[in-house]
Every structure is written in C-alpha cells, then in structure tokens.
Structure 1
Amino acid sequence: MTSFEPVCSTADLQVVDPATLPAYMLELERAAAYLDDAQRAQLRQAWVVGAAAHSGQMRSSGEPYITHPVAVARILAEQGLDVETLLAAILHDTIEDTALGWDDIASQFGPTVAELVDGVTKLDKLQFRDRQEANAESFRKMLLAMSRDLRVILIKLADRLHNMRTLGAKDPQSRQRIARETLEIYAPIAQRLGMNQIKSELQDLGFRALHPYRHAVLEKRIRAAPMVRREALVQIEANLAQRLTREQIPHRLISRVKSPWSIYTKMRAEAKSFAQVMDVFGYRIVLRTVADCYHALGVVHSVYKPLDARFRDFIAIPKANGYQSLHTVLFGPYGAPIEVQLRTEEMDLVAEKGVAAHWTYKEGGQAPNSAQNRAYNWISGLVESQHATGSSLEFLENVKIDLFPDEVYLFSPKGDILSLPRNAIALDFAYAVHTDVGNTAVAARVDGKLVPLRTRLSNGERVEIITAKSSTPKPQWLEYVVSSKARTAIRHQLKQMGHEDAVQLGHRMLDRALEALGSSLERVSAARLDAYLHEGRHPRLEALLADIALGNKMPSQVAYALARSPGEDAAPAPAHTALTQEKILITGSERGVISFANCCMPLPGDDIMGYHTAGKGIVVHRKECPNVAEYRKSPDRWVSIGWDHTVSGDFSAALRIEVDNRPGALAQVAAAIADAKSNIDRVEYLERDINVAVLRFSIEVKDRRHLANVIRKVRRLSVVLGVQRI
C-alpha cells in the first residue's frame, strides 16, 4: 500500500497504551495491521476523541455508543481502506450527535477527515415535512459529498452494514423500515460500486429482517439439499479440476452456494418453487491471466455442454461497476444447470471489493482503478441530474430507477460502449449520449435499420440517433423511458417549455383584460407595476404572467389593479364576461396551461370556450358540452378562445359504434379507422348481447374534418349498425 503523510503530527497525539485498549479497539487494530505505527496511533487518538464526545450515549442494545463507529472502521479496515477513511469512520456521528464540530475535527485530524464526516452526517437538525423527505434530503446531500470524495459512500455502506448486523435491538416497525431502505437503496448502491461482499451481506440481512420466516425456510432448504445433488457437485468439481490440471492451467476452483435472497428473487421473478430453481450451486474458477480465462472456458465446455444463449463475456465488455468475468451455464449430470464464472485474481478482487480494491488517494500519484473511474462517472451523472429535479423525493426515486441490477451494453457509431438499464429504449440511449441529443431526437438507427424512439434495445446493438432542431420532448416520453437521466431531463425541459408557454398566454390574457379597461401593459408605469409585483410577491413580471395563465390570478382583477389611478381606492374589479372579450387564439400545443376537457373532447373546428381553473390554466370545452351550463355560473372564469389557423397535432376523440356481434366485426372496424389514418388509443365494450355489441373507440384525429372522414369510412361497413361521436 502506498504510504502517505500523517494527517496530524505525532507530537500532537495523546499517547495511548495499546494494553489499555478495549477488545473492540484491539479488533480494529488487528484488521488495520497494514497501517504503520504512526497511523495506528492516529486511530487510537480518534477513539479517545470519539469516546469522549459520545460519553454517556448508549446504543439500543445497551452497549456504549462508541462501539458502533469503531465497528464501522473495522469493516472498512477489512476492505483495506486508508487511514483518513478509518479516522472519519470512528468520528462519523460526532457532528450529528455530539458537541464536536467541523472545526474541532479539522484542527485535530485535518480538513479532509472533517469533510468526510460532514458528508456522512444526516440532516436531522433541519426541519422537514416528514421523515421520508428528511431521509431523501439526507441521501441527496450524501451523493453530493460522494461526488467530491467517494470514500463518503464507503463509510455510509459500512455504517449501514453494522446497523443491519445489530438490527435485533430495534423495534419491529423500525426493523422493517430500515431493512426495506437497505434492500431498495444501499444494497443496490454497493452492487453499483462493485462491492459484492458488502452487497451480499446487506441483502441477506435485509431479507432476514423483512421476511424472517421466508429467510429461515430457504436457509433450511439450502442446507438440506438432496444428497444426490451434493454428490453430483463433488463429482463435477473433481472432473473440472482434473481436466484443468491436465491442461496445465494454474487455477483456484471455488464452489459457491447462492444466497437465500438471490434464490428468493429468482423464485419471485420466474414464479418457480425452490425445487425448480436448479442453479442454487455453482463454481468460480480464478486464473492468472485473461488468456487463461478463455483457455479454461474451452476446457470447461469440453467437459460439460454449455446451455445455448447463457454465455456472457464481461471481460470484453465490463459491467458499469467495473465487474469483469466470463459467465457460462453448463448442462450437468441429472439435468441440473451449473453456473461457472471464470476470472483473473485481479478481477476477483475487484468483483468482491469494487471501488475499495487497491484504494488510491487523489493525491497519491496513482490513477484510480477502473471501478473507481466508473463509480465517479456514475455519481457525476447523478449530481448533474439532481440540479434539474424538483424535490429530494423525486431525486431519490430517480436514483432508485437508475439502480437496476441488469444492464444492456450498446455501441455508439464511433464504437464507444454505453451501459443502460434493462428494457432501455432508443430514447434512453439518446439522453445517455447528451441531453441536447435526447431533447431533439426524432428517430434512431439500430444496426443500420431505421426504428422509432420507443424501440427496446438489446445487448451489443449499434445505435445512432437522428435529431432535428425543431423537435422538442413530448410528455408521453415519460411513460416510455427507464433511465433516471432521461426522465429527469425530459421533466426539466417540459417544465421550462411549459413556463414559457404560460408566460406567453398570460401576457395575451392580461392584454385583453387591460384593453377592455381602455389601457395596455405599455401604459402601466414602471413604478405601479413594480409596486404590484412586490405586493403580490412576484420576483418579476414573467412570474405574474405565468400565474395568470395557470389560473392562480384572475386577469380582470390584475388588469383593474394595474389600470386604476395611483390614489384611487381599491374596489372590486368590474366583471368582464368572456362574451365581451376578444378571442384568444390557441394552437393546442400550449404545454401545461391549456388542457382539453375529457367530458366533451373538443377538436379544431368545434365552437369552444375556456374555463379558468386555479393551478391548471385554461380547460377547453365545446360550447354544447352539458357541463357548460354549470360553469356559466362563474362568468369571471370564462375565457373567450378560438382555434388559431396554425393549429396542428393529434387530438383525442371518442366514438360509440354499434356492430353485429359476430367474429371479425371488431377487426373490420379497427381496419377502417386505421385506413382513415387515425390511431386507436383504446377499445372497450359498453354493451354486448347475442346479436349486437356496442363499443367505445378512443382515437386520435387532426380536426373535425378528419373525424368526419373516420365516421364515413366506419359507416360504410356492413357490420356497423350505427356510429356517433361521444
């Protein structure tokens, strides 16, 4: 291990006799035997400071609190982490739970250790609406600290691991909550960072706490596996070892058993019983070189036949967390599949310890290893996306989406490899390349074939994104994408576009209201406008205009307040009905501020009227809609609107169609609608008997003329008895 300057001088240390150390500190010293004498002296000094700070504090189990941070440091020492990380682990709860502050830690152990401690510290001292939001905000802060120093998450994972080991002291409700959080967040993060040892233990402990009975049953079934299977495994191991030795390939052959959590998730995902999960047991072959791995793979395949389509080469294309290995599944005796992994010693170390393998300082002169580089790239992407999220809870949900255990590996036109979550589509790939590419994407080429953006991608495909400057994200995209980066970028862009549309519509609505009073926005003095904005707590005019469009401010009231004389007393704004106002023309593409009522589904060409709804903007109704009579009771909320001549896009409509109830009738109607160039969103039966069926077709059309064309084509069918617009 590379040696580094101590974080504080030996002269500053309080000398602690090792003979006086408690048993838990001796365990830490044994685990940290790779440190030099001066560094171990710093650990003792940190223990003295931490024990004094936590004096009088006890854990739920009744032990002194200091035993917990020392145990966290021991977990990290077993991973071979540097002295700064171990010091921060011993002190990781001091800023949160004691009077010790950042400056105190920095003065004794250096600013880096203080920053690590601060990064792990939760935000319990701040006020949040509920515990869920507090946890989400704490997690957000931790990820930001991770982007500066990856060791923050290593401390947090070790902290969570020791808490899970001692979870029995908690009440049942707390055990369930902590276990669920561990399985949903911390175990996947450990997997994403390649720390397989910690991930497996977190999953096993979380499963045991969340479903104790299921865990106990599975553990018992694994121990009581049929002897015939165990005997077969011994024979398989002997056969593999014999053939590898005969080929003179130096190796370590390790048999392994799947964990209860791994078996449980497979049983649930594939709807299998324990007896049906055949690959409970497997082997790992550790070799010297990459060439030996491929040589050994050939030997293994000569002993037992491989199962088709179950071979994965993670050496040529590593996983996103840096994991490398060859995976193959063999057809063993008694028909049981046997999973075999082949990797080098270096790959085995990275697979088990991930980013903790060969830990290097940023200032240590060595470049971070592959796993660390990949981890930093992943975290940088999360930090970039968190700037665009509206809340900590939304950010946390995006991170959960991003923690998919399975990934697909894809190639860009230049040959770069990009990893995306399972079930990713071409649009996810576009946003993985760059946010601007995703925002302007219109189609994709997968292996040279032109495909829609919703096309699901498979391993090894070459993907090229086609863009157009005029293209913008669609709200429907949120229903298709699976990666957190794509979801966050789309939401951010839609919010931005929605705000711009709201400002423009609000401007037009305020102009109409001011014109009715014989004024205009240009005639309102700057002083009067500034006073009104200050009174309404609007930072600028755009915010007021957006509020008007969204229905939070009535344009007539704002217009009257701006148009009245400076000395004039405030009075109720005169009522201006929609019938007396000049129409505001809409194109239908106004995002977030114009919506179309589901009760009447207006189309371009219909006579329409808008109803101003707080928080929703203008809801458009047909004038013949049955609900209009009720809404007329609030004339101040009606907005006179009409269709702009540039209106375009697809609009929802519904048809009630009566048909002869005979085979093929539904298919004929659907074909006629498609022939009229209309998309079918949904079909449902409203009524059905032996002779007649009544169906509701939800379709998309351009305007009234398009709908009339659809109705004509449907009416011509011999199976159709009647058609009417709903």
Structure 2
Amino acid sequence: MKPADELVGLIRAYNPRTNEKLIRAAYDYGRDMHEGQTRRSGEPYFTHPIEVAVILAAQHLDDATIITALLHDTIEDTQASYDEVATRFGDEVAVLVDGVTKLTNLQLSSTQTKQAENFRKLFMAMSKDLRVILVKLADRLHNMRTIKAMRADKQVQKARETMDIYAPLAGRMGMQWMRDELEDLAFKVLNPEGRASIMRRFITLQKEAGDVIERITSDMRTEMTKAGIQAEVAGRAKKPYSIWRKMQAKDQGFSRLSDIYGFRVITGTEGDCYRVLGAIHQRWRAVPGRFKDYISQPKSNGYRSIHTTVSGRNGRRVEVQIRTQQMHDVAETGVAAHWSYKDGVRGENPFAVDPVKWISGLSEQFDAEEDHEDFLEAVKLEMYSDQVFCFTPKGEVVKLPRGATPIDFAYAIHTRIGHACVGAKVDHQRVPLWTRIKNGQSVEVITAEGQTPQATWLDIAITGKARTAIRRALREMDRERFVRLGAELARSAFEHVGKKATDKVLDMAAKNLRFREKEEVLARLGSAELTAAEVLQAVYPDLAPNEAEDVATERPVIGLSPDQSFHRATCCQPLPGERIVGITFRGKGVVVHAIDCDSLGNYEDQPDRWLDLHWHSGKHQPIYTVQLWLTIGNDSGVLGRICTLIGEHEANISDMEFVDRKPDFYRLLISVDLADAKHLHRLMMALEAETDVAEIERYRNPELSRPPGGD
C-alpha cells in the first residue's frame, strides 16, 4: 500500500498549493473505513482507492477529485454516510462521492432497454459534474489492470463493458491514452490469442528490421536540427488492439499493415508546428488522404494537433502527430484539462474546453429522444464518432461524424433546413442524399416548400441530431394520419347509434378517458389503441354495443357494401382486433389484409382499389385460421401435451405439417382456428411458457398473396 507521503508528493509536484492536510485526512479516513476489507487478490481493499487517486494525480487534477478517488467506495461499501463525508470534507466532495457511488450501481452492460435508461442516468451524472466520470474512468482502469483476480465470466463481462462503453467514452473526452490502455486490457481478456499473435509478430519484426523506432526518431531529430527548429521527438509502436482493429477494418494481415508506428513532435509555438510539417514532408513522401489539421479545426473536446502519415525507411508508413506543449497537455487529459493544475495554478491552458459547454453540446440532441433504444443508438454513435470538417457555401465550418451524409449536414445547419431538404450539391456537383461527405468538401442543401422527412432518411442519416428530428417529424405525421382516420371511425361509430361525433362530444370523451385533448382520443382510435366502442362507452354508456355480443360470422367486417364478398388474405391471415384494409378485385370481391402486410406494397400505385375496413366489435367465433411455426423437443409425449394445451385454450388444430425432423427436435407448421388477436396472444404466451417449446412465431408469407380464385 502506497503511504500517504508518496501520494502527497505526487500532488505537490504539480500543485504546491494543495491542501495537504485535507488530502492526508481523506487518506486516513478511507483507510480506517476500509479496515479489514480485502480485494479478490487478497490485498487490502484500500490499495484500490489509492491507485485510483494516483492515476488522477498523474493527470494533475484538483484536490476535490483526488479526495473523491480516495473516498469513492466509502459510502457504498463502509459505514460512512453522505452527511459524514460532507461534514469532514465539504459538500463538493460529498456530491462527487455520491455521484460515483450511483454510477457504480449502474449496470451498463444489462438488457437493451435498461442499458439505455442507465446511459441516460450516466449522462445526467456527467452533466452535473464531469469529475464524477473522471473518477469512474480511473476506477475502471485500475480494475482492468488487476482483472486477473476475478472469475473468468466476470472478466469477460467487465472487459466487454469496458470495450463498448468506458473506452470510447474516454476517447470522446480526449483522454486517448486511457482509451488505448482500456481497449488493450479488454482485448487481452476477450481475445488473448489475437493479442498474443500480434505481440509475436512485433518481436519477429524487431529481429528482422532492428529498432525501427529509434532510427526514425533519430532521423526526425536530424531534420529538426537542419531546419533550426527546437522540438522533442518520441516514437512508439501502436497498441495491439489498435493494430488488430486496423487489420479487421482493412481486411489485411499484419505483414501488409503499414502504419503500426506512431511518432510525436512537440514544439514551442503553433508556427513551429507548420514548420515541422514542412520539414517532414520535404524529407519523406506524404501519403495522400492521410493529413488532418486539428490545429485550425480543433475537435469539440479541445484536441489540437497536426496528423500526417509518411513513407519512412524501407517504404514503411509511419504516423506523425505535431503539436505544442499546451496542445499536448490537453491531448493527454482532454476535457479533464479544465481542472488540471500546473505550478499551483488551475486551468490556464487556452485550449482546455469548458466542461459545461462540452457536455451540453454532447447531450442536447439526446434530451428530446423518447425511445430508449433510439437514445442508446444515438449515444453510441456519438461516442464512437470520428469527425470530418466540411463547409457551407459561405465558407462556414460544419463538424460532422465520419460517414455523415448531406441529410446530417442539413440538420446540423437547422432542423427546418433538414425537414425541407430535397437534394444536395457537394463541391458544386449534384449528388444523392446518401453520399458520404469527406474532409474539406463544400456542401449546399437544396430545399423545397412542402417537403417532409422520409422514413428512408433514417437509413441515410447517422448523427443523433438528424435521426432524432426525423423520428419526431415522422411521429407527428403519423399522428396527423391517425387523427384523420380516427375522426372517420368515430363519425361512423356514432352515426351507427344515431349520434354525431361533434367537438363537444369528443372533448367529453377525452375528459372521461383522461386524455388531454380530443385529438389524442382520435389518434389512439386511428392507431387501434382505442376501439370505437370504448369511445362511445365514455360518452353514451347505454348506447355502446355490448362487447360480449356475438358477431355474425357471415358479415364480421365493417366497410363493405351489401353486394361485396370478402376473403381473408392467405399471406397475413388477419384476425379480429387487428387493423385491416381491403383490396378490391373486379367480380371476385374483396381480400382483407392486415395493415402491416408486406403484400400491400403490390397495390401502392392503385389507391382506388383500397377500402378502409375494420372488424365488428363483439365476440367472434373461433373460425379464423392462423399458422404458427413451432420448434419442440423430440421426446416422448411432447406433441401430445402441445395438442392438449392448444385444446385447453379453446383453439382447434385444423392442420399440421412436420417441416424438419431431427434427433433432438421437431420443427412443424401448425394451423389453429382462433377467435381474435387476443385469443392468439393468449395461446402463444401459453405455448412459449411450455418448457418443451424451444421457439414459436406466427407464420406469414407474402408469396401466398393471391386474389380470390387463385389468379
């Protein structure tokens, strides 16, 4: 266990004005609270908070963050309380410790919906004070460094969570060194063979080519001397996971991979950065398309540097990063540079980003996202994004994630521009909306009045902001359509009992059904979330049709003329309770389809053949055949139990076909006669709960779509 003197010495080296007394008090309090606790490795537990504090001290962070690191597990794992921590170390530290405790309790690698909700809580915690996530990242880094003491299954779980969440988050915050180490530690757990193979290739390469890094570093220093530039030059081999990722992305073997070495040149001034760039490009050939100037166009997390890739000795490609010392300090700590100290002075670095502005910029587009999975998708897109810089026709710079399209560009300018987009020009040439924008291109959006977002745009857009705006607009358009359909259904239902669906009547229905406005009632009626009988019941309970009343089997569908016959479509097999439409066939009646049937696409250009239909409310007879795919265990008595279960749920088996027979399972297509959609749901739930049923799903086949009579 590191003594308090060693930790205080690390802090005093960059912050002579540190509150040494408070640091020591936190050290002693944390040690006493964790007394008797051990880690899985057998070490005293308090060694962990000390190492977390050391990681943060290496980033030159403020006293409150260091003290939080020392105490970050006290409220959760010891007798310590929030009030006691606040009394001893102040409200600022208590709030930070409490925030880290809440983050620790979030299961970020759990199920999709819960994971999305926990991501939302993660962002909320970050928005209150970004230092909470800094401590959590350092906590995860030390846990990954000591992960071997955990059970094998826990190692995999933590490594996957680190690779999916914490590593990209560290990178998004500008702490690239931490991202690299977290990824490599997780890679060692998730794919030890892959990592070992890369390490072996490195050793072989060194034997064959000698110390390439030292030779190229020496060459670069010589060029700096020739140009009269004072600069520090350092080189390193890239991390195994970084190399592995490049191999997967480029589908190349190690021997064909070129840029596995990285070099950094640190200069005194911004002007020297460009002089270094010129000297390097004069000495070595630049690789086209591999130049990025993050000095003139900084990343949103404050990162500034010039990146170029050149062909070095023996044609081997190497990446070179050029920056000043101040830029380097921000590159090492990212957004955390806001709290860093140097010689006892905080936050003097002009490139350090204001964390409040950074986190608000990162999370603003997620605040309006209502759907959990959409939110999760948007967060991950943002965290994994690299940036491209493009220009408006007026020369203004727009930052977008790599792979962005003109749709993303339009919404980045303004939501109104995005909604009205009908086309785009890139570098003055008309291009499809799915075109990927490249660095330095000029983009012009073509708009038109009356244009509305298209559902296909969701497959084109990649930014969270664009996708959120498109989804919201589509929901509003769907709502308008559902309101119109609901109004028609309400009019028909009320006229059926001799009443009118006036605004006053619908307002009363909304009030009795506890909705804010009548439009909500109509929208839910149009989307089949409410039935016409329920709306009638809310206003005229004595006139509403009896739901239990038997429905005549010969005319169960409303909306047909007396001379029209109907047939259920064999492709989707619609059931009472499901939304339906009819397609007319001359001389052959009407085929009734479920509203979501894929076969309806065949009639999109023939709107005159469509009929708006709905099922009679009431009790339908179990005469409507639906086919189900079942995978069941091949064991004695299983099929008999399944058939008995179907009978117990008042459903009749009308046909059965064994599609696949294996030694351990049967796969069969079974036809059952049901009354309505609720009947189907109850039956499927019962079958799914049966231990011998491995899989069950409703069978629908668009290829079976055909008009009455088979032609």
- Counterpart of 1:685? none
Of the structure 1 ranges 542-551 and 420-429, higher mean CA displacement relative to structure 2 is found in 542-551
Cα distance in 2 between the residues matched to 1:371 and 1:198: 18
Query: Which one of the candidate residues 237, 240, 243 is aligned to 1:257?
Result: 237
- Counterpart of 2:587? none
- How much does 1:85 deviate? 1.2
Q: Within 5 Å, which residues of 2 pair with 1:157-306?
A: 157-230=137-210, 233-306=213-286
8 Å contact kept, 1:252–1:285: yes
**1:311-359 deviation line (CA, Å, top 9, x unaligned):** 3322222233332222233323322223222222222222222223363
SS in 2 for 1:408: strand
CA distance 1:142–1:110, change in 2 (3 Å): farther
SS in 2 for 1:419: strand
Q: Please report the TM-score for the alignment, with normalisation by the length of structure 2.
A: 0.74
Cα distance in 2 between the residues matched to 1:398 and 1:501: 27
8 Å contact kept, 2:309–2:319: yes
- Counterpart of 1:32? 11
- Counterpart of 1:602? 603
- How much does 1:457 deviate? 0.9
Cα distance in 2 between the residues matched to 1:124 and 1:358: 24
Cα distance in 1 between the residues matched to 2:263 and 2:379: 33
Read off the aligned partner of 2:528 and give its amino acid letter.
G
Q: Within 5 Å, which residues of 2 pair with 1:460-475?
A: 460-475=440-455
In the alignment, is residue 343 of structure 1 matched against residue 339 of structure 2?
Answer: no
Query: Which one of the candidate residues 543, 552, 555 is aligned to 2:529?
Result: 552
Query: Which one of the candidate residues 351, 358, 361 is aligned to 1:370?
Result: 351
- How much does 1:170 deviate? 1.7
- Counterpart of 1:113? 93
In the alignment, is residue 431 of structure 1 matched against residue 408 of structure 2?
Answer: no
- Counterpart of 1:479? 459
SS in 1 for 2:389: strand
Read off the aligned partner of 2:611 and give its amino acid letter.
M
Read off the aligned partner of 1:608 and give its amino acid letter.
W
Cα distance in 1 between the residues matched to 2:522 and 2:338: 57
Query: Which one of the candidate residues 419, 422, 425 is aligned to 1:445?
Result: 425
CA distance 1:422–1:31, change in 2 (3 Å): same
- How much does 1:402 deviate? 1.4
Cα distance in 1 between the residues matched to 2:79 and 2:615: 52
**1:536-555 deviation line (CA, Å, top 9, x unaligned):** xx565444333322223321
- How much does 1:163 deviate? 1.4
Read off the aligned partner of 2:459 and give its amino acid letter.
E
Cα distance in 2 between the residues matched to 1:307 and 1:85: 43
8 Å contact kept, 1:119–1:142: no
**1:461-501 deviation line (CA, Å, top 9, x unaligned):** 12233334533222111111111221222223322332343
CA distance 1:426–1:367, change in 2 (3 Å): farther
Cα distance in 1 between the residues matched to 2:454 and 2:476: 13
Read off the aligned partner of 2:471 and give its amino acid letter.
R
Gaps of 5+ in 1: 1-21, 589-593, 615-629, 638-695, 697-724
Cα distance in 2 between the residues matched to 1:129 and 1:581: 56
Gaps of 5+ in 2: 565-578, 584-593, 617-670, 679-702, 704-709
Q: Percent identity?
A: 38
- Counterpart of 1:334? 314
Cα distance in 2 between the residues matched to 1:432 and 1:43: 45
**1:41-82 deviation line (CA, Å, top 9, x unaligned):** 212222344345445544333334333223222211110000
- Counterpart of 2:397? 417
Read off the aligned partner of 2:257 and give its amino acid letter.
V
Read off the aligned partner of 1:23 and give its amino acid letter.
K
**1:698-725 deviation line (CA, Å, top 9, x unaligned):** xxxxxxxxxxxxxxxxxxxxxxxxxxx9
- Counterpart of 1:395? 375
CA distance 1:302–1:549, change in 2 (3 Å): same
In the alignment, is residue 514 of structure 1 matched against residue 521 of structure 2?
Answer: no
8 Å contact kept, 1:301–1:330: yes
CA distance 1:367–1:301, change in 2 (3 Å): closer
- Counterpart of 1:141? 121
Cα distance in 2 between the residues matched to 1:440 and 1:159: 47
**1:428-478 deviation line (CA, Å, top 9, x unaligned):** 112222333323333333333444433321111122333345332221111
Q: Please report the TM-score for the alignment, with normalisation by the length of structure 1.
A: 0.72
CA distance 1:525–1:508, change in 2 (3 Å): closer
CA distance 1:342–1:527, change in 2 (3 Å): closer
Cα distance in 1 between the residues matched to 2:101 and 2:530: 42
- Counterpart of 1:406? 386
8 Å contact kept, 2:326–2:351: no
Query: Which one of the candidate residues 47, 53, 62 is aligned to 2:27?
Result: 47
Cα distance in 2 between the residues matched to 1:492 and 1:413: 28
Read off the aligned partner of 2:435 and give its amino acid letter.
T
- How much does 1:423 deviate? 1.2
Cα distance in 2 between the residues matched to 1:585 and 1:539: 28
Cα distance in 1 between the residues matched to 2:433 and 2:303: 30
**1:395-448 deviation line (CA, Å, top 9, x unaligned):** 222111112353211123443322211111011112222333323333333333
**1:236-267 deviation line (CA, Å, top 9, x unaligned):** 33333223213321111212111111111111
Read off the aligned partner of 1:32 and give its amino acid letter.
I
What RMSD over aligned residues (CA atoms) do the two structures have, in Å?
A: 4.0
In the alignment, is residue 312 of structure 1 matched against residue 286 of structure 2?
Answer: no
Cα distance in 2 between the residues matched to 1:467 and 1:173: 54
- How much does 1:35 deviate? 4.0
Read off the aligned partner of 1:290 and give its amino acid letter.
E
- Counterpart of 2:630? none
